[in-house]
Structure 1
Amino acid sequence: MRCPFCGNIDTQVKDSRPAEDHVSIRRRRFCPACGGRFTTYERVQLRDLVVIKTSGKREDFDRDKLERSIRISMQKRPIDPERIDQMISGIVRRLESMGETDIPSKKIGEIVMEALARIDTVAYVRFASVYKNFQAADDFEDFVHELRPPSPPTEE
């Protein structure tokens, strides 16, 4: 592993243990060249996934990009960070177990929205506003209206 401080490629692992999410390994590393210490995380990757964008462009699946977008939608929400990590790991496992290496971005968005809807409706709406490219307040209103159950008729 290359040292992020000096670029030396000969670093040493000083400590390894399961990370808090229990789906990755946390490694403390030491660089003998500069004395720098840093942490790396190692995750199992079942297969290399490729995202097919709506434009047709192909790019490697990036778990960190998925995590950033989900965490942005959950900013300032009362959600336990461990629960977010579990949700992200579940989404990635689901994508990897689909049996396909090429996954349309639309499918990823749908899976993320399903997961968010189960955890927090505000985060769900936030994510949807970007995913569905809301352009005006009416778009939010229409989307939220679809979330609400129909009101029973009032008797007069």
Structure 2
Amino acid sequence: MKCPFCGADETAVADTRINDDGDIVRRRRRCLTCDKRFTTYERAGLRLPQVIKKNGSRVDFDREKLAASLWLALRKRPVSVDAVEAAIARIEEKLLALGERELASEKLGEMVMRELKKLDKVAYVRFASVYRNFEDVDEFSKVIREVSPEVPHPTQPLGR
């Protein structure tokens, strides 16, 4: 494994852990040249479905793009890297379980929203507002009420 900091080929494994499901190996590594530490994740390479975008084009499923979308929604939120990795793993497991060769991007987006709802409600609302392309405040309010039922409807008086 090359060091991401200096590019050296010689690294040593300092610690190895397997996640609770037993399908991901997390390794802490140390570069023998610059002595910096980094983490790698190892998982079985399986063929995931192609994603059919709204314009009809097809692209390969991209784990890094999925992770970037989750991290963008979770920006400055108190969610651990391990929790996000687990959410990504659950999405990939669901995709594999479908057994489909292709998947509509909308279906993938709904899977992401379900995982974000479990991880962090603020991130869920952020993602939903972009993903569902809200046109007005009422649509936004509806999603907020969905995750926080104690928020009154705009037509209801604030005092209960």
TM-score (normalised: structure 1): 0.70
2:139: which partner in 1? 142
Flag the 1:76–1:115 CA change in 2: closer, same or farther, 3 A. same
Flag the 1:74–1:141 CA change in 2: closer, same or farther, 3 A. farther
Aligned sequence identity (%):
41
Report how far residue 102 of structure 1 moved.
Answer: 1.0
Flag the 1:27–1:79 CA change in 2: closer, same or farther, 3 A. closer
Report how far residue 48 of structure 1 moved.
Answer: 3.3
What CA distance in whole angstroms lies between the structure 2 residues aligned with 1:107 and 1:127?
Answer: 14
2:70: which partner in 1? 70
Matches for 1:83-102 after TM superposition, within 5 Å: 83-102=83-102
Report how far residue 124 of structure 1 moved.
Answer: 0.8
Unaligned runs of 5+ in 1: none
Give the aligned length. 144
What CA distance in whole angstroms lies between the structure 2 residues aligned with 1:119 and 1:25?
Answer: 21
Matches for 1:51-130 after TM superposition, within 5 Å: 51-130=51-130
Report how far residue 62 of structure 1 moved.
Answer: 0.7
What CA distance in whole angstroms lies between the structure 1 residues aligned with 2:28 and 2:122?
Answer: 35
Unaligned runs of 5+ in 2: none
TM-score (normalised: structure 2): 0.69
CA RMSD of superposed structures (Å): 3.3
Structure 1 residue 46 corresponds to structure 2 residue 43: no
Flag the 1:36–1:20 CA change in 2: closer, same or farther, 3 A. farther
